[in-house]
Amino acid sequence: AQSVAQPEDQVNVAEGNPLTVKCTYSVSGNPYLFWYVQYPNRGLQFLLKYITGDNLVKGSYGFEAEFNKSQTSFHLKKPSALVSDSALYFCAVGGGYQKVTFGTGTKLQVIP
Amino acid sequence: NAGVTQTPKFQVLKTGQSMTLQCAQDMNHNSMYWYRQDPGMGLRLIYYSASEGTTDKGEVPNGYNVSRLNKREFSLRLESAAPSQTSVYFCASSSGTGIYEQYFGPGTRLTVT
């Protein structure tokens, strides 16, 4: 069975500082990894995904994620946080024809 | 291009009542999903439809039924609502399962008293 862990319920970062939201995964076979963002009272929005290739994936709104196979991690990063980045972030893993499994989410709070 | 639409946005039910949540997508996607979101639990898959004509159980299917009416529409039915089904329900769609990103609707906030 595949699974995703987001070890931090909440991450606080000052505006302008770099941010990292952590994700580790477990899946048999090749992992397909995703990040989504949810703003209050909205549905989830796709940010980026890793299927194969370059370990650094670039996505929407200046976000990027680093795939590390040896550490089974897929951490979300941004060089300079904005107050508007404050939201709930979900990591997800899928594989082949399997459905996607979501993590429990990490609340990002960017402090002005 | 509306993406994924859900109706209703809000609903209050009494225990034992039934209702159907409607979902439609206009992106010609093959796969559709129903999730529930509860505090601290993340998103949990209720049912999904990998393609038109097929439906499969997800992680928490008990108390729910689904119908893939056509390629565009995927409905979720609560036959006899229970307070444990109080949640926010999201519909999503994707080109296919597994490697494809999903597109989500705005959600339905359901309260069962």
Q: Does B45 touch chain A (CB under 8 A)?
A: yes
In this complex, the residue of A41, A46, A99 whose CB is nearest that of residue B48 is A99
pLDDT at A94: 85
Q: For the residues B43-50, what does the mean pLDDT come to?
A: 94
Give the nearest chain A residue to B32 (CA atoms): A99
Confidence of residue B102 (pLDDT cuts 50, 70, 90): very high
Most confidently predicted of B39-53, B71-85, B86-100? B71-85
Question: What does the pLDDT average to over A80-97?
Answer: 91
Give per-residue pLDDT as tens, A32-51.
Answer: 999 999 999 899 999 999 99
Percentage of residues in chain B having pLDDT higher than 90 = 88
Is residue A15 classed exposed, middle or buried when 0-12, 13-18 and 19+ CB atoms within 10 A define those classes?
Answer: middle
**Is the pLDDT confidence value at A95 over 80?**
no
> Looking at CA atoms only, how far is residue B59 from chain A in angstroms?
10
Residue B1: pLDDT over 80: no
Model confidence at B40: pLDDT above 70: yes
User: Lowest-pLDDT range, A10-14, A99-103, B17-21?
Assistant: A99-103
Percentage, residues of chain A above pLDDT 70? 96
The band of B101, judged by pLDDT with boundaries at 50, 70 and 90, is very high
Please say if the pLDDT value at position B96 is more than 70: yes
Mean pLDDT of A13-31: 94
Confidence of residue A97 (pLDDT cuts 50, 70, 90): low
Q: Is the pLDDT of residue A96 over 70?
A: no
- Other CB atoms within a 10 A radius of the CB of residue A103 amount to 23
The pLDDT of B31-44, averaged and rounded, is: 92
* Residue A28 forms contact with B (CB below 8 Å): no
Q: How close does chain A come to B42, measured CA to CA in Å?
A: 4
Does B41 sit within 8 Å of A104, measured CB to CB?
A: yes
Looking from the CA of A111 toward its CB, the CA atoms found within 13 Å total 5
